[in-house]
Structure 1
């Protein structure tokens, strides 16, 4: 079993056990040659049998008292060694921030305060802020689920939206606590009848928050974009990493998570994000979901995630390891004065959590040729395939995971039909 060396100068403590947790641990290991501690209920899956991760099992991540007790016990074990506490999952980031008063100063927690996180992750407030700052975003209607019996017959409610539309939770952390038949991260509704059926199921689950109903921007997965920004302790945006999403996850539990990204640059979008983040005084990382709208040629902001994203290793693949900012500013105490005022990554690399042959089945002709060319030049990064983590049992898991991805996509998301030019038919 892997253990953190006694001589290690700081320890990343990561809540979770999924591929995003492994990606964070890999970034820390690549940059600083350190072992991370992954705290989860089972310690299985992507974080198991790893030489760069020590697994630490807690009875229940949803039990605040049990989690605090477990983390403070870790804190005692590591003595005076600095500990930095992170996650790439919304509800766990919220949990960390809610428990900040019980965990600091033993743990360094590089997230904004809860009030700002709630404001910026509330999709209705985020959309309103984009409107105030003239930042491109889709037409949006806020649906108060608790008022569904009164709203379902309101003929004026959806004025300005045309079906099909996108329907998604207004509060991801709250939504995590409720379940209903057919629950997904993002829903589509082809008609008012479909939308009302969905809202009835959400209402019956007891979910008390809002749903966001949005204009469906034309295009498939390859229309999506991603942007990750780091704001320093003074609130200045110091780093940005942009990517063109080629394909998203399509399994219900992870629907919408970018699975393949070509890294690159988009100065205009970065400047819009900078204006927004500095306006509200953000600190730490923010991850934006965006989509290119072919109708007006603008890239539109959908939402902000208060963390490094679940596909966070695309940033490392772009040539700029994101954990370095955490360590330099929060562990080493640097004021980043020796860093550029704003660094924008520009290197082109293919990040993919899917086997390349599977990815190629879903792409239009131009992107298929691009991916083939990048693969031929060795410009492909899979976050799970880390040569410095050679445990045979872990690699058996990684290979089996790739095979299962092929099977699952064949079942839940057959390749879309395209015309002769590779566009959606």
Structure 2
């Protein structure tokens, strides 16, 4: 395993803590554990917001304190800001914020003035993270700046859906228009493939008078490859760390969280993302999903997450820099060492990759750009220097966790006909 203190050729500012900020009830989040470990191994004091004291994050040896704060993500912003400020006062010194979801990233951007006295975070246009997290807002930005993306419509009524259904080529994909509705009353559960006009109209009857969805062109997986980009951009929208990789498996299959991925060099994709981020002026960590459409040889941007991605620990360069370390170094006034990404490195999320592997074998789908052999493997949960999060995850997975995985799989199978 890379990234241990003896392997790190730079020093972080150990006087500046980090705080993992998450809103919503998803205790089995490997990304938060990864962020606690990656900064904790540098000697950075780490804190985290957790649902309870029995989450994997709370069990990490690198966590100084878990602030137990159950939230849904749908709370009033004033209440969330007040709670963050209270935590900042308790820590008692400027602290780098590491958001793990869109709710946290947007809240921090929109309330920078209220949080600045207690926390460090990249400066960004207050409205930009919200636009990027919105499927409609992202599509509009892609059109404005000439970035390929799936054809997208945002119907405002059932009548508009009927008009769309008369002309559309099926299948199509339905997604919630705004990222945050998954915490409230989502119209659809994640990415939903709809096979026919009748299927669309049947689903749409439950979406209400003002459907909160976008309908997108379906990019067939048989003619596509799923790519991911993780990067950290400074206050001038310059990439201080940028990585490209290919997603091999996800759960639910083909439409969910990364279960297995590899670092793969892709200069064309790196240039595309660098240009787009410079054009929109974003600063901070990004996690992007793109699909390469072999029918027209273009990379089409599906998701722009303006925060740390759960699988960020896949990506590291030969100077032991990942995007979370890059942000902490930059915000504390230290240089971010340049280096080459560790091409061929593999990332596996233990609790979801086995069911994903079985599903992908049945479908006989393979990713052409995936290396035949990994140059090294980073596990999401298991770490020799920090074993308790893995054990805690395993204990919580039994029973309710298995049922949750099954529900995700069933949701992914419910294509409307």
- TM-score class, shorter-chain normalisation, is 0.7 to 0.9
Q: CA distance change for structure 1 residues 86 and 135 in 2, over 3 Å: closer, same or farther?
A: same
Judge conservation of contact 1:263–1:346 (CA < 8 Å) in 2.
yes
In 2: Cα distance, 1:131 partner to 1:71 partner: 36
> Which residue of the partner structure matches residue 243 of structure 1?
245
**Which of these residues, 11, 28, 39, is aligned with residue 28 of structure 1?**
39
Match of 2:4 in 1: none
* Residue segments in structure 1 that go unaligned for 5+ positions in a row: 1-6, 417-425
| C-alpha distance in structure 2 between counterparts of 1:69 and 1:412, whole Å | 34
Which region of structure 1 is more displaced relative to structure 2, 236-245 or 359-368?
A: 359-368
Deviation at 1:89, TM superposition (A): 0.8
Q: Which residue of 1 aligns with 2:88?
A: 75
Distance 1:408 1:240, change over 3 A: same
The residue aligned with 1:55 is 66
Q: List per-residue Cα deviations over 1:29-64 (Å, max 9, x = no partner).
A: 23x223421113424332132212221112546254
User: How many Å separate the matches in 2 of 1:13 and 1:163?
Assistant: 45
Alignment of 1:258-277 (within 5 A): 258-277=258-277
Match of 2:178 among 171, 178, 184: 171
TM-score norm. by structure 1 comes to 0.79
Structure 1 residues 381 and 346: CA distance shift in structure 2, 3 A: closer
Tell me: higher relative CO, structure 1 or 2? Use CA pairs within 8 A at least 6 residues apart.
2
Aligned partners of 1:287 and 1:306 also within 8 Å: yes
Alignment match, 1:422: none
CA distance in 2, matches of 1:11, 1:128: 37
* Structure 1 residues 112 and 43: alpha-carbon distance in aligned structure 2, compared to 1, 3 A threshold: farther
Q: How many residues align?
A: 386
Distance 2:404 2:180 in 1: 26
The CA deviation string for residues 253-299 of structure 1, in whole angstroms up to 9 with x for no partner, is: x9622121111121111111111111111111222111122323332
> Is 2:160 the counterpart of 1:151?
yes
Q: Tell me the SS of whatever aligns to 2:124.
A: coil
Match of 1:185 in 2: 190
**SS in structure 2 at match of 1:309:** coil
SS of residue paired to 1:223: strand
Counterpart contact for 1:94–1:173, Cα < 8 Å: no
CA contact (8 A) 1:262 1:351 kept: yes
In 2, are the aligned partners of 1:265 and 1:346 still within 8 Å (CA)?
no
Question: What is the match of residue 40 of structure 1?
Answer: 50
Equivalent position of 1:226 in the other structure? 228
The answer (yes or no) to whether the contact 2:129–2:306 under 8 Å persists in 1 is yes
